[in-house]
Amino acid sequence: MKWKINWFVGSAILFSITDLVTAYFILPGESNPLFLYFNAFWVMIIGKLFFIGMLLWWNYKPRTEHNHYFFCMSIVWSCFLFCFGTISNIYGIMNPSLIEAAATVAPAVKTQAYFSIVSILGVLPMLLGIVTFEVFYRTRNVKHPVEVTIHGR
């Protein structure tokens, strides 16, 4: 097997690492549940390495149309979420008072906010995309019984 990383997977890996690096500078205000539960940055590193490993494994795995669509959609939304995380981390780096205020927030509140943002910005659009693809896939070869024509056009 030839190991080649296409630009699509490579950009997801790059965004993932960028999010991790910027998170290092805002650790007191970090809301990642892995960090909050274990209170260790190395656990976040292991989580990112697991994500990158899954990307590489899934990239070389033979796929059906459904799986390939899900793979592409997962990468697009992961990149979006990593960019969102990186931008918010950079905003926190540039405004230390926000990190100081976030450090006083209870871990349970941070975790709830984290899952709310990920659900709204990531999971919900992915579910809608899966449903849309399924509707498309199941109705693309359906013959329409009646064809309506408008005269004069």
The secondary structure element, H or E, covering residue 132 is helix 124-139
Confidence band of 2 (pLDDT split at 50, 70, 90): low
What are the tokens at 75?
Answer: 């990468």
Mean pLDDT of the residues in the chain: 89
**What is the chain's length?**
153
pLDDT per residue as tens digits for the range 6-21: 888 899 999 999 999 9
Say how far apart CA 56 and CA 50 lie, in whole Å: 10
pLDDT per residue as tens digits for the range 31-44: 999 999 999 999 99
